[in-house]
Every structure is written in structure tokens, then in C-alpha cells.
Amino acid sequence: MTRTSTVVPTYDKLGRQIKQDSYIVYASTYCDSSALKIGKVIKVLVKERLDINGQIIFTEYCITVIGVDEHSSFGLRLSRKGTLQFPDRIIVIDEVQVPEEYLKLLRDIK
């Protein structure tokens, strides 16, 4: 049996809650290299798999985000929506920590 919820608290690597509209830094890849990306959370969905007694045996996270791609030839632009599954590979940051050129792209994303 599976229980799906959008209200189960989900926490980042530092113990900060990941919520809709949170600004985040997360692990990504670019040209076969590890990279950090700045983005915004669109939705947090938690799926809990339950045993026959209703006890949680596995938790699956689906954190929908849009990030900002950085490239030397085209500059900054929004990436496609993506799904992150590992909250411990995310760090929530305050809006004041997001560079202004990123905020211009991310601020109105819902």
C-alpha cells in the first residue's frame, strides 16, 4: 500500500525544511562533470510505502524543481522542470543569498 502526501515535512542536508517556493542549491551534472545548480522548488511530494500493518517501510521523495542553467555561450536561462529524489543532496538558501540575475529568472516561477 502507498500513502502520498504533500504535507509531510521534508528536510535538506542541514535540517531546513524544503517547501514549495524554497530557493535551493542542489547537485547536478554538466558535460559529464558534477555541478551545483541554483533553483526553486515547485512541489514536494512524499510517497510512503506501507506494510500490511500500516508501518512505513520505504519513503520516496519527488521534489519538482526548476533550476538555472549556466553556459559560457548563452549565459543564464531556466532549465526544464526536473525531479529530485534525495533531500540530503539539497541545501535550502534564503532569497537574499540568491544572486539577482538568478532571482530575475526564478522569482515568478510557481
The DSSP result for 70-81, as a single string, is: EETTTEEEE---
Confidence (pLDDT) at 53: 86
- For the chain, 110 residues long, the average pLDDT of each consecutive 10-residue run is 81 97 92 88 92 87 94 84 96 97 93
Confirm whether pTM is higher than 0.85: yes
SS3 109: coil
Structural domain boundaries, residue 44: 2-106
Confidence (pLDDT) at 52: 86
Query: Which residues lie across from 49 on neighbouring strands?
Result: 2, 58
Query: How many domains would you assign to the chain?
Result: 1
SS3 104: helix
Confidence (pLDDT) at 72: 66
Confidence (pLDDT) at 110: 83
**What is the C-alpha separation between 28 and 38, in angstroms, rounded?**
10
Confidence (pLDDT) at 51: 86
- The half-sphere exposure of 49 on its side-chain side, counting CA atoms within 13 A, is 5
Using alpha carbons, select from 57, 51, 55, 61 the residue that is nearest to residue 4.
61
